[in-house]
Homo-oligomer: A and B are copies of this chain.
Amino acid sequence: MARVDYYDDPAAPAINSVVPSVTVAVLDDQGRLLLIHKIDNDLWALPGGGHDAGESIVDTAVREVQEETGVDVEIVGLVGTYTDPRHVMAYDDGEVRQQFSLCFAGRVLGGSAREDGTETKAVRWVEPADIPSLNIHPSMRLRIEHALDERRSAPYLG
């Protein structure tokens, strides 16, 4: 489904939906970060997605990483909350969501990175030094920076 992001834009349509969602920052034992590459918009991102009714938000995080990357993780911490109502996502069916996302920290239990054939993404373990040169949405880059900042002892609350 096509989606248009608005950020602090007076032209953004009115919010009519709030769907909790997650992203997950997973580091391997070499300190590389698990990222997905969305072919349609050429953006790199943390794996993640929307909460389904009937699951805990931690279940959502584990499920989305498995579905999108093939990697099995456990959730070991919370990087932060990202619920800025100035970030609005408009879908082509008329749904207009405000950002409402939790970013978790995950640890690898098993599995191996593989492309998600149905959503046409690439999946890579990326060296932190290579992240600045990747095309990443500012709202996603903020979460990655928080996840990689070892000085941060408490979750970001936004």
Asked if A134 CB lies within 8 Å of chain B CBs, one says no
Tally A residues with Cβ within 8 Å of B: 29
Most chain B CB inside 10 Å of its own CB: which residue of A53, A98, A155 = A53
Q: Mark A73-89, 1 if CB is under 8 A from B, else 0.
A: 00101100101110000
Q: What's the number of copies of this chain in the assembled complex?
A: 2
Q: Which of B15, B18, B53, B58 contacts A158 (CB 8 A)?
A: B58
Does any Cβ of B come within 8 Å of A1's Cβ?
no
Contact flag A53-B83 (CB < 8 Å), given A78-B157, A155-B155: no
A18-B51, A78-B154 known; 4 new pairs, CB 8 Å cut-off, are A15-B53, A54-B98, A56-B85, A78-B157
Task: Output the nearest chain B residue to A99 by Cβ-Cβ distance.
Answer: B56
| Residues of the B chain whose Cβ atoms lie less than 8 Å from the Cβ of A78 | 78, 81, 154-155, 157
Interface check A20, CB cutoff 8 A: yes
Contact B155 A57 (CB under 8 A): no
Which residues of B sit under 8 angstroms from A75, Cβ to Cβ?
157
Q: How far is the CA of A98 from the CA of B59 in the complex (A)?
A: 14
- Chain A interface, DSSP helix/strand/loop, else mixed: loop
A83 contacts B54, C-beta separation under 8 Å: no
A30 CB–B CB distance under 8 Å: no
Inter-chain CA distance A97–B84, complex, in Å, is: 23
State which of B54, B153, B158 has its C-beta within 8 Å of the C-beta of A56. Answer: B158
A-B pairs, 5 with minimum CB distance: A57-B83, A15-B53, A56-B83, A54-B85, A78-B155
Chain B nearest CB from A49 CB (Å) reads 14
